[in-house]
Structure 1
Amino acid sequence: MARVLHISEFTKGGIETHLNEVLSYQSGRHDIYLMASEQNSSPDTLQISRSRLQLYPYKRKPAYFLQAMKAIHRKVKDFNPDIVHVHGTFAGVFLRTLFFFKSRRPVVIYNAHGWAFLMDIKPWKQRIFAMVEKALSLRTDYIINISKHEYDMAMHYGLPAGKSGIVYNGVSDTVPSNSPPFETEPGKINLLYVGRFDRQKGFDLLLEVFNEHKFAKVNLYLVGDTVLEEVSYDFPENTVKLGWVDNSQIDRYMKACDAVIIPSRWEGFGIVAIEALRNKKPVIASNRGALPEIIKHGLNGYVFDFNNKLELAAIIHKLDKDTLAAMGQAGLEIFQEKFHSEQMNNQIERLYEDALQKRSGSYTAPVKKYV
């Protein structure tokens, strides 16, 4: 049993799904603790007892960064963990900056959950973000990449191969559910979007396509909302806003619809995609990030070129329920083979064991590339 401190900037969205899978698995195996910001984190839905959860005051503004680092430093000192498992770019910067000039520190496992240098930003910013990650990797034992795409791009930008590996995200089996949470129209194709209403997720593109093409035989249900900033959108008549949904209920929403749509501009992984597969729902996904590793065009869904709105519109126009149902069955088989939480948690456990057994001084032996 190891003392493991998990640290995240915030938890709302896909990161909460990931954390809950990991925390639930580790609760009986390790002495675990979680730190996350008060902003966009919900203690009621995190799978950890309140006594082992600390929420620190925070907003994504420079004035709060030093305060967050001080809170993390105090917790590391008090908890004295064997392993610090840090989730997300900002939390990764806070934690590893504290350790940069320390010769003695816990094992650091870092998962960016999507590299900042792969965002849709100017090339000079990408290079700066990559340089920061390379510098901070000096105080990192293992770097988890959540897809082959993420791993390949990390190697392209010069992150250390000896410390880097791939661990796909995973989710548990779906649980039996009662009646659907809303009524759908049987004669229409009912699509579901789940996620933040922001640029990264391609939400603007999705609404543009629906406003331009109308899709009289399609309804679009929207689970989520804005997170970090308020944005005004023009919602078409055939869209239904459902707001944020407790992750424990997301299966009911997916089962009520015919398919899930993920139009992301950039995507480190796409947990919503594997949640859809476990519910036997095909996915209509952009060709960005790891999504083509999860969705095989024509087998368990459709993949469209993000830069070609007409391609997405053509896919939506030709959707039919029988084909979608067959794709859903294929998707379930792919989920069980590659994206179940059991595989993910076993791989993380092996990383922990390797780190604790092989560590000497400040560094560890090279990490095995798990695929």
Structure 2
Amino acid sequence: MARVLHISEFTKGGIETHLNEVLKYQSESHDIYLMASEQNSNRDTLQISPDRLFLYPYQRKPKYFLKAMRSMQKMLNEINPDIVHVHGTFAGFFLRTLFFLKRKRPVIIYCSHGWAFLMDTLPWKRKLFAEVEKVLSLRTDFIINISNHEYEMAMNYGLSPKKSVVVYNGVSDAPSSDHLPFAVKKEKINLLYVGRFDRQKGFDLLLEVFNEHKFEDVNLYLVGDTVLKQCDYKYPDNAIKIGWVDNSEIDRYMKACDAVIVPSRWEGFGIVAIEALRNKKPVIASNRGALPEIIKHGVNGYIFDFDNKEELANIVRKLSKSKLEEMGATGERIFNESFHSDKMNKQIERLYENAVKKPSDRYSVSINKYV
């Protein structure tokens, strides 16, 4: 048993799904704590005991950065963890900066959940982000890449192959429920989008395609909303806004629809895609990030070129309920083989074991109690 502190910035969205899967699994064999920001984190839906959950005051503004680091330092002093598993770019920057000039430190496992240097931004910014990650990797024991694409790009940008591993995200079995959250029109193709309404997720492209093409036989259900800032979008007539839905309810919404659409502009992984597969729903996804590793065109969904929006329009126009149902059954099999949470959690557990065994002077005094 080890004392493990998980640290995240925001948890709303896919990161909460991931954290809950890991926390549930590790709570049976480790002494688990979670620290996350008050903003965009839901105390009630994070699956950890309230006395082991710590929310720090935070907004993604420079004046809060030092406050966040001080909160983390205080928690580290109180808990004295053996392993710190840090999630996300900002949390990773705060935490590893604290240890940069210190000789003694706990084991540090870092997962960006989507590299900042792969964002759709200016080349000089991507290079800067990569240089920062390389420097901070000096205070990191293992770096988790959530796809082969992420791993290959990290190697191209010069991160250490000795510290880098690939662990696909995973989710557990879908809860059984026949109670659907709304009635859909059976004669229509009913598509579901789940996620933030922002540029990264390709939400603007999705609405653009549906506004330009009147898909009379298609309804588009939108689960989610904006997070960091409000945006004015023009919604097509066949779009139905639902708002945020608790992660525990997402499966019921997926079961109600014929397919799930993931039009991301960049995507580290795409947990929504594997949640769809476990519910026997095919996925219409962009060719960005890890999505082509999850979705095989014509097998468990469709892949379109993000830079050619007519490809997406043609796919939507030609959708068939019988073909979607057939691909959904195949998708469930692929999910069980490659993207189940059991596989992910066992890989993370082996990573912890290997990190603790590595000879180093970084460990906290308490480590010998758990080895």
- With structure 2 as the length reference, what TM-score do the two structures score? 0.97
For residues 176-232 of structure 1, give each alpha carbon's deviation from its aligned partner in whole angstroms, at most 9, with x where no partner exists: 113110110000000000000000000000000000001000000000000011101
The 5 Å alignment of 1:32-71 reads 32-71=32-71
Distance apart, 1:127 and its partner CA: 0.2
RMSD: 0.7
Q: Distance in 2 between matches of 1:224 and 1:175?
A: 21
Match for residue 339 of structure 1?
Answer: 339
Match for residue 87 of structure 2?
Answer: 87
The amino acid across from 2:96 in the alignment is R
The amino acid across from 2:52 in the alignment is R
For residues 72-104 of structure 1, give each alpha carbon's deviation from its aligned partner in whole angstroms, at most 9, with x where no partner exists: 000001100000000000000000000000000
> Is residue 2:190 matched to residue 1:190?
yes
Return 5+ residue gaps in structure 2 as ranges: 364-371
Match for residue 231 of structure 1?
Answer: 231
Match for residue 252 of structure 2?
Answer: 252
Q: Which moved more, 1:212-221 or 1:173-182?
A: 173-182
The amino acid across from 2:59 in the alignment is K
For residues 108-154 of structure 1, give each alpha carbon's deviation from its aligned partner in whole angstroms, at most 9, with x where no partner exists: 00000000000000110000000000000000000000000000000
Secondary structure of the structure 1 residue equivalent to 2:32: strand
For residues 14-65 of structure 1, give each alpha carbon's deviation from its aligned partner in whole angstroms, at most 9, with x where no partner exists: 0000000000001111001000000000010000011000000000000000
Q: Distance in 1 between matches of 2:240 and 2:346?
A: 39
The 5 Å alignment of 1:190-229 reads 190-229=190-229
Match for residue 140 of structure 2?
Answer: 140
Distance apart, 1:358 and its partner CA: 2.1
> Is residue 2:276 matched to residue 1:268?
no
Secondary structure of the structure 1 residue equivalent to 2:333: helix
The amino acid across from 1:349 in the alignment is E
Distance apart, 1:175 and its partner CA: 1.1
Q: Distance in 2 between matches of 1:56 and 1:40?
A: 11
The amino acid across from 1:326 in the alignment is E
Q: Distance in 2 between matches of 1:42 and 1:208?
A: 32
The amino acid across from 2:21 in the alignment is E
Return 5+ residue gaps in structure 1 as ranges: 364-371
- Identical aligned residues as a percent: 74
The amino acid across from 1:12 in the alignment is K
Match for residue 282 of structure 2?
Answer: 282
Match for residue 369 of structure 2?
Answer: none
Q: Distance in 1 between matches of 2:52 and 2:179?
A: 34
Q: Which moved more, 1:29-38 or 1:170-179?
A: 170-179
Q: Distance in 1 between matches of 2:143 and 2:361?
A: 18
Match for residue 163 of structure 1?
Answer: 163
The amino acid across from 2:337 in the alignment is E
Q: Distance in 2 between matches of 1:136 and 1:45?
A: 31
Match for residue 369 of structure 1?
Answer: none
> Is residue 2:309 matched to residue 1:299?
no
> Is residue 2:117 matched to residue 1:117?
yes
Secondary structure of the structure 2 residue equivalent to 1:162: coil
Match for residue 368 of structure 2?
Answer: none
Q: Distance in 2 between matches of 1:215 and 1:325?
A: 20
Match for residue 328 of structure 2?
Answer: 328
Q: Distance in 2 between matches of 1:21 and 1:200?
A: 24
- With structure 1 as the length reference, what TM-score do the two structures score? 0.97
Match for residue 367 of structure 1?
Answer: none
Q: Distance in 2 between matches of 1:39 and 1:360?
A: 36
Distance apart, 1:239 and its partner CA: 0.4
For residues 154-176 of structure 1, give each alpha carbon's deviation from its aligned partner in whole angstroms, at most 9, with x where no partner exists: 00000001000000000000111
Q: Distance in 2 between matches of 1:192 and 1:261?
A: 6
Secondary structure of the structure 1 residue equivalent to 2:162: helix
Distance apart, 1:357 and its partner CA: 1.6
The amino acid across from 1:311 in the alignment is E
Q: Distance in 1 between matches of 2:351 and 2:130?
A: 24
Q: Distance in 2 between matches of 1:138 and 1:99?
A: 10
Q: Distance in 1 between matches of 2:216 and 2:19?
A: 39
Q: Distance in 1 between matches of 2:169 and 2:359?
A: 25
For residues 298-349 of structure 1, give each alpha carbon's deviation from its aligned partner in whole angstroms, at most 9, with x where no partner exists: 0000000000011100000000100000000000000000000000000000
Match for residue 360 of structure 1?
Answer: 360
Secondary structure of the structure 2 residue equivalent to 1:161: coil
Q: Distance in 2 between matches of 1:98 and 1:6?
A: 15
Q: Distance in 2 between matches of 1:248 and 1:137?
A: 35
Secondary structure of the structure 2 residue equivalent to 1:165: strand
Q: Which runs of 4+ in 1 moved over 6 A?
A: none
Distance apart, 1:356 and its partner CA: 1.1
Q: Distance in 1 between matches of 2:355 and 2:22?
A: 17
Q: Distance in 1 between matches of 2:177 and 2:242?
A: 18
Aligned residue pairs, count: 363
The amino acid across from 1:134 in the alignment is K
